[in-house]
Amino acid sequence: MKAPVYIAVLAHLATAATLPKLYEPLQRRQAAAGSANGTTTTTKGDGATALASAVGIISNMTQGMLGGTGTIGGFISGYSIASMFVTALNFPYGKPYMSPGTLPTKEQVAPTHPEVPGSKTVKMRYGPYKVPSMGVTTTTLTGNEEGMLWNYPDTNIQKPCDDCMITGIVAEYEYLNGTKANIDSGQWLHHIVLLSSNSRADPTCVGKGTSLPHWVVGFNPSSSERFWASGNERTPINFLSWGIKDAGYRMAKGDVMSMIVDLMNMSMQAQTVYVVIKFDYFEGKPAGMSEVKPVWLDVDQCGFSEAKVKSQTGAYKVVSIPWKSTINGEILGMGGHIHDGGTRALIKVDGKVACDSKAGYGEKPEYVSAPGGHAMGKSSKPAEGHSHAEPGKPHISSMIACYRGMDELKETKMTVGQSWTVEAHYDYSQFAGATHPSGLQENVMGIALMYVRKT
């Protein structure tokens, strides 16, 4: 059975058989870490548990339907089914159902740092991806979403280089004709996550029973790691700009790169877009360069990266479960990601602030909703839909990164046994949050990504 046909079958099974068994109730398990101080500490989301259940159900059904051992039903792994299942939830939107775009998928462009000998820059276009209109509802493991390509797994994507040291990454977003896509034209690069697989381990998820971001690209946290992510604010990481010329993220010949794609379309017509990523790199591994290890902190670690709001008004914070470090090394940089209504992501070690990643709003015209913009969401359920596009509303346009040499970086060493957390701070009296059609605040995110030179 060909893959697109198989995915279509999974799409039917997902809606006709699996989701009714999983959807009610999919309340995220949370443990309050002292309501008096306004803290919510989250545990692994029920969505990841639901996905694990879905994998089992779909696997059993397809084993019988497709013939069991010795056929496609016999050799597809649970992780592969997780990937296909999430792909099926987005059917018929995403990448496999699109004709190839006409723009080049890989372009060598002028180097970001021409002053550094050997530094190169390549522009990669991924997709194109078809994103549904806001009039289309996608049923997901956490509820219904309008106008969303939801956590879509794009596996085994083209690498920027086959044997290199990556020193910088930044996201862009384009329509099929190459023009820029952003909030002012009704499009959101909601979030993207890059993973690399080849005997790598993700330090904060390794050993977990289920880990959604790894499962949906067909791997597990013992063999793959999240090494970069971006929200629509598109915070760049660039070691050379940080004054670090002797470190980078290693991309080896045997590595497999995958991406989780979450895109939002606020128009009433489906849109087709490219996710564009620029990479700065050195060929090979130059003498004297050391490898960095990414460390991911999350308020829903190894799950959907979301937490329920603590309050509909005013200020509150959401805090991750502490991660006890298994790494010794030098911290080169770190930064955070939050949603509208958020003020900062505080990255803490042993209770002390290591980085205060503050949010900026509407600093460029493309981060302000244009007049006549659409408010998303028509669902009757209070926990569904989106409302992001009120005309004139400013949205998060930047997050401060803390890196070596900056006063904002308060901790430069990571040692085994340290306790690390990320706190996502929200204050709806300062900045308007993203609300459902009912007027209730949406779930929020709180993510931090650190780069550590292991010693």
pLDDT, position 443: 86
Distance CA(386)–CA(11), nearest Å, equals: 23
pLDDT, position 371: 66
Q: What is the DSSP string of 108-155?
A: EE--S-TTSTT-EEEEEEEEEEEE--TT-EEEETTEEEESEEEEEEEE
Q: What is the DSSP string of 245-299?
A: -SEEEEE-TT-EEEEEEEEEE-SSS-EEEEEEEEEEEEES--TT-EEEEEEEEET
pLDDT, position 2: 43
pLDDT, position 54: 54
pLDDT, position 141: 73
CB under 8 Å to 306, separation ≥6 — which residues?
28, 45, 142, 299, 300, 443, 444, 445
pLDDT, position 143: 66
**For residue 189, which of 213, 173, 202, 208 has the smallest C-alpha distance?**
173
Contact at 8 Å (CB) between 167 and 111? no
**For residue 265, which of 233, 303, 232, 307 has the smallest C-alpha distance?**
232
pLDDT, position 198: 82
pLDDT, position 77: 54
pLDDT, position 412: 96
Domain count, the chain: 1
pLDDT, position 108: 97
pLDDT, position 293: 97
pLDDT, position 336: 97
**For residue 319, which of 44, 41, 43, 29 has the smallest C-alpha distance?**
41
Distance CA(28)–CA(19), nearest Å, equals: 16
**For residue 277, which of 80, 127, 389, 420 has the smallest C-alpha distance?**
127
Provide the domain limits for residue 211. Answer: 3-454
pLDDT, position 438: 72
pLDDT in tens, the chain (455 residues): 444 444 444 554 444 444 433 333 233 323 333 333 344 443 334 444 555 555 554 545 444 444 443 333 333 455 677 788 888 888 889 986 667 778 999 999 999 999 999 999 999 999 999 999 988 888 777 667 788 999 999 998 999 999 999 999 999 999 999 999 999 999 999 999 999 988 789 999 998 877 889 988 988 899 999 999 999 999 999 999 999 999 999 999 999 999 999 999 988 999 999 999 999 999 999 999 999 999 999 999 998 788 889 999 999 999 999 999 999 999 999 999 999 999 999 999 999 999 999 999 999 999 998 764 433 333 323 233 445 557 788 999 999 999 998 999 999 999 999 999 999 999 999 999 988 767 888 889 999 999 999 88
**For residue 425, which of 335, 348, 338, 351 has the smallest C-alpha distance?**
338
pLDDT, position 374: 38
